[in-house]
Amino acid sequence: MTKDAFKIDYYNSLVQALEFIVSGKDPRQKLDFIVKLTATTVDAGASLIMLDSTGNNLVHTSSWKLPRYYLQKGLIDRFKSLNELSTGKTVIIDDTQSDSRIQYPELALQARIHAIYGIPIIIGNTRPASLRVYLRSKRSFASHELNFINHMAALAALVIKEQQPALTEEKTEQVHTLPQPLKPFRDPSCFANESEVEFARLLDFYNIEWVYEPRSFVLNKEGNRITEMFSPDFYLPELDLYVELTTLKQSLITQKNRKIRRLKELYPDINITLMNKNKYDTLLAKYGAGPLGQTRAQGITRILFNREEISEKVLEIASRISSDYKEKHPVLIGVQRGFICFMADLIRNIDGPLDIDFMAISHYMSGNNELVKFTRDVDLSLTNRHVLLVEDIVDTGMTLKLILNQLQLKNPASLEVCTLLDRKTRRIANIDIRYSGFEITDEFVVGYGLDFKEEYRNLPFIGIPDLSDKKYSAQDQGKTE
């Protein structure tokens, strides 16, 4: 092909990309098209990699002409890898086997990746993503190829800015200090089964960043031949946690447990949890989904804690708080409505001055996903104040983690959590709870401020509702605390 033909070919590709991004397609389709067109035009592999919620790792978001095992090699350390996002400069790796900036040289060799070009995608003063191109033949990048890739990265920046307009120069300082995660664009067809789709939506509901099957772990080998591998379903970067779902027959849970035990033996630093069918169905039911989501509380089958037991526990917690916060004038903050009974009794039994304030959250739809947003912030200034967040019940911990992150931005002198009920069996997020009342098992509870469809809040005790009556439809289901 002549030099002029090269110019025409790359010019036509740019025209195609421009026409596509001004179309009515959604951002995921636009980014996929940019990556695919980059790969096919340059005759190489290409991938759009984005910062996760920690701001320390990069994950493949959209890729073309790269083998699956290479994409599942694991998370990419933004500092140990090419580091183009930190420097804001393009990086060329001419030889993946001799350059120390390649994290996984063995897999690069297996994938026949000879050279890599990484260009940061810049939006204002932020660098949330990078476009990387991988040569799979022993040649160098030509100048016209680099120029073309740079133009494609600029188009990707326009699409990402369209998807996340919050990444603007007005918030440059905040974003630079704490990189904002880019919401992954997900097509349900990328999941293996419907349970994974539901779990992804649940994570989106909590605004928890997730990556689907980012890494495959080798469990067994015979010589140099790999005989068994394991790819956990989800990775939650902010929690540094892998999650494996099992909604299959209970007899197959043993096999998954064996794999997880083997993984922990070989990779002791990896955090992983198995979410079995009962735990998963109960978690979905809490938000009106899954097979248990069709039930409706009709009565109380058992009282867990009576009025006297609750009163004694509140006095015990109040005594500890009074001692720990002596002369500190704390701010007690409640969220939503379930805390009302507990907080009212608690503050009446705390010795010494204190302030109280409230926050509120609501749920809204973004496309097909239901997310959480703050609808009411605290009125008091929390700068250098000792803050105590008061909860009725701590469950998965995911919403609580969002709230704590929000409060930390207000620069309190200290921030602790107080809860009446602690359901550790469902915990996903690692939350440090300083003051805890009762630990409860994996059962739905109501009373003493806790409700089901706004019922049972005024019960003077905490009990387990009857979920046996199924005459209510899915439309009757509401969000619970």
pLDDT over 90 at 333, yes or no? yes
Overall fold of domain 300-476: Rossmann fold (3.40.50)
Rounded to an integer, what distance in angstroms lies between the CA atom of residue 115 and that of residue 149? 14
The mean of the pLDDT values for the chain is 80
pLDDT score for 177: 29
Judge whether residue 430 has pLDDT over 70.
yes
Prediction pTM value: 0.49
Architecture of domain 3-177: 2-Layer Sandwich (3.30)
Q: Are 422 and 436 in contact (CB under 8 A)?
A: yes
Share of the chain above pLDDT 70, in %: 80
Q: What is the pLDDT of residues 53-107, one digit of tens each?
A: 677 888 888 888 888 778 877 778 888 888 898 888 999 999 999 998 898 888 8
Right CATH for 188-275 from 1.10.10, 3.90.25, 3.90.1070, 3.40.960: 3.40.960
Assess whether 392 carries a catalytic annotation.
no
Hey, do 3-177 and 300-476 end up sharing a CATH topology, with the first three levels equal? Answer: no
Q: Average the pLDDT over 197-203 and give the result.
A: 78
Q: What would the two tokens of residue 161 be? A: 């800015």
Q: How far apart, in whole angstroms, are the C-alpha atoms of residue 137 and residue 453? A: 61
Contact present, 242 and 234 (Cβ < 8 Å): yes
Each domain of the chain, given as residue ranges in start order, spans 3-177, 188-275, 300-476
Instruction: Quote the pLDDT of residue 478.
Output: 32
Q: Contact at 8 Å (CB) between 68 and 55?
A: no
Q: Name the catalytic one among 32, 52, 395, 422.
A: 395
